Structure 1
Amino acid sequence: MSGHSKWSKIKRQKGATDAKRSKVFTRLIKEITVAVKEGGPDPDGNPRLRLAIQTSKAANMPKDNIERAIRKGEGGEGNYHEVTYEGYATNGVAVFVECMTDNINRTVQNVRTIFNKNNGSLGTNGSLEFIFDRKGVFVIRKGEELVEEDELTLELIDAGAEEVEFDEEYITIYCAMEDFGALQKKVEELNLNVESAELQRLPNTTVEVHEPEVLRKIMKFIDALEDDDDVQKVYHNLELNEELANLMSS
């Protein structure tokens, strides 16, 4: 799962830039609102809300914003629908788009326009199921205390982890989608410093692109999708090499 490890590292690099944008807060507010409408305002009894609050805090969202989003969900505001779109960018790079919208017609039109303007090809739902696996991914920032890696790994595997990777600053944990809740509870019990915890779509095959100009075009396409207000997350299977890392962090 070394490719998954590279994915997490690049997501962290790009996250440092994205966190400066107010759009990140907008997306988190939507997630909190939907979580409250689905499972109520008590994070102790609502895993999705607990995770959304955790992610919002990691993104440095002010407490007042979080509380307002919870009240918004309690009041029934924000009639959002979760929709996904699948297709291909240049060079056969698979692109999976997750959206949260109060106007599906607007969203599909915007997504289709972005695909068309960037020489992409929008496909049918389910067409990329063979490329992406839905996995739980936890990114833990190491504390000052030394971590007994073998002992921690065994505890996490008992709770449902499929793989645990350690580097200098972070611990990255992967699990099957159905084990996400149990592993989330275990991480909380261990009082680990969670920087992010989410369900991601990880590619099981990747496409290599070495031409800098083509890479720039693909990244322009992905950035255009991410900049749309209705888009929550964008996944792709572009091989995460050093060239791409530099483009994404610049």
Structure 2
Amino acid sequence: MAGHSKWANIKHKKSKTDAQKGKLFTKIGREIAIAVRSGGPDPASNSKLRDVIAKAKSCNMPNESIMRSIKKAAGEGDTTNYEAITYEGYGPGGVAVIVEALTDNRNRTAGDIRHLFDKYGGNMGATGCVSFMFEQKGQIIIERGDKDEDEVMMIALDAGASDFQADEEYFEILTEPNDFTAVREKLEAAGFRFESAELTMIPQTYTKLTNPEDIEKMEKLLERLEDHDDVQNIWHNWEQE
């Protein structure tokens, strides 16, 4: 769940409770199901599935849970047909928000998402109303630890990364969407473990909120959206302090 701070989503993820982890793993299981049904259950021949598995591992999803999700999606036991839908709108103070969902009932999900936007001082708009403010990128986060910054940067750039940034705790590697899988796999082969590895939406401009009421409503909107069973990802351009 990405925000303005490159690392806020990682730190937030580390603090998730067991109940939140269970919900997160259920959501990743849906992504695995979509990947399996579109490209088959063999990761060797399904790059989308390989990417989702890498995301699952970065979220500390157990291997047995990953394999169970793959087998379930490949078998006849689960007939639920999930549809990927993206919603766009504005939060309080004009913050741009993109919500990615996987649902088996688009009417229910659209109604729920619209209600949350309305309840917390925003409004859901038409497709394309805010997505032009974002750029899709592959994003890989590696914990710094005792790793040599120059070495990690050279490996990433040689693998095809488009940008590399570092702070005191993490390295952030950005790629073009089509290069994401290749870069991730080369870093993985070099022995790196990821705190996060997924396609993300990077804001091109940011919106600051100064009204305490708007800030409170924006926090509640993001919290309620993230807690919704059908919501997979939330991207926004709120510049948090």
TM-score, normalised with respect to structure 1: 0.87
User: Following superposition of structure 1 onto structure 2, how do residues 29-108 of structure 1 map, counting pairs within 5 Å?
Assistant: 29-75=29-75, 77=78, 78-108=80-110
The answer to whether the aligner puts 1:154 opposite 2:154 as a matched pair is: yes
Contact 1:160 1:179 survives alignment (8 Å)? yes
Determine the C-alpha separation between the residues in 2 that align with 1:202 and 1:122.
20
- Provide structure 1 residue ranges, at least 5 long, that are not aligned to the other structure: 242-250
1:7 aligns to what?
5
Q: Per-residue deviation at 1:45?
A: 2.1
User: Following superposition of structure 1 onto structure 2, how do residues 14-25 of structure 1 map, counting pairs within 5 Å?
Assistant: 14-18=12-16, 20=18, 21=20, 22-25=22-25
**Paired residue type of 1:129:** S
Determine helix, strand or coil for the equivalent of 2:140: strand
Determine the C-alpha separation between the residues in 1 that align with 2:104 and 2:195.
29
Determine the C-alpha separation between the residues in 1 that align with 2:93 and 2:3.
23
User: Following superposition of structure 1 onto structure 2, how do residues 100-249 of structure 1 map, counting pairs within 5 Å?
Assistant: 100-142=102-144, 144=146, 146-147=147-148, 149-241=149-241
Determine the C-alpha separation between the residues in 1 that align with 2:232 and 2:16.
12
Map Cα deviations across residues 85-134 of structure 1 (whole Å, 9 max, x no partner).
00001110011000011111111111111112122111111111321111
* Structure 1 residue runs of 4 or more that deviate by more than 4 Å after TM superposition: none
Determine helix, strand or coil for the equivalent of 1:65: helix
**Paired residue type of 1:153:** M
- Provide structure 2 residue ranges, at least 5 long, that are not aligned to the other structure: none
Determine the C-alpha separation between the residues in 1 that align with 2:4 and 2:103.
30
Q: For the structure 1 residues 58 and 240, does the alpha-carbon distance in structure 2 shift closer, same or farther, using more than 3 Å as the test?
A: same
Q: Per-residue deviation at 1:223?
A: 1.1
Map Cα deviations across residues 217-241 of structure 1 (whole Å, 9 max, x no partner).
1110111111111100111110021
Q: For the structure 1 residues 58 and 153, does the alpha-carbon distance in structure 2 shift closer, same or farther, using more than 3 Å as the test?
A: closer
Give aligned pairs, total.
236
Determine the C-alpha separation between the residues in 2 that align with 1:90 and 1:55.
30
Comparing 164-173 with 122-131, which one deviates more in the overlay? 164-173
Q: For the structure 1 residues 45 and 142, does the alpha-carbon distance in structure 2 shift closer, same or farther, using more than 3 Å as the test?
A: farther
Q: For the structure 1 residues 167 and 5, does the alpha-carbon distance in structure 2 shift closer, same or farther, using more than 3 Å as the test?
A: farther
Contact 2:58 2:197 survives alignment (8 Å)? no
Q: For the structure 1 residues 191 and 8, does the alpha-carbon distance in structure 2 shift closer, same or farther, using more than 3 Å as the test?
A: same
Determine helix, strand or coil for the equivalent of 2:36: helix
Determine the C-alpha separation between the residues in 1 that align with 2:215 and 2:94.
12
Map Cα deviations across residues 59-100 of structure 1 (whole Å, 9 max, x no partner).
222333222211111025331111000000111001100001
Determine the C-alpha separation between the residues in 1 that align with 2:102 and 2:16.
18
Q: Per-residue deviation at 1:154?
A: 3.0
Greater length-normalized contact order (CA 8 Å, ≥ 6 residues apart): 2
Determine helix, strand or coil for the equivalent of 1:137: strand
Contact 1:142 1:193 survives alignment (8 Å)? no
Please report the RMSD computed on the Cα atoms of aligned residues, expressed in angstroms: 2.0
Determine the C-alpha separation between the residues in 2 that align with 1:143 and 1:203.
28
Map Cα deviations across residues 28-69 of structure 1 (whole Å, 9 max, x no partner).
111111111112212222222222222222322233322221
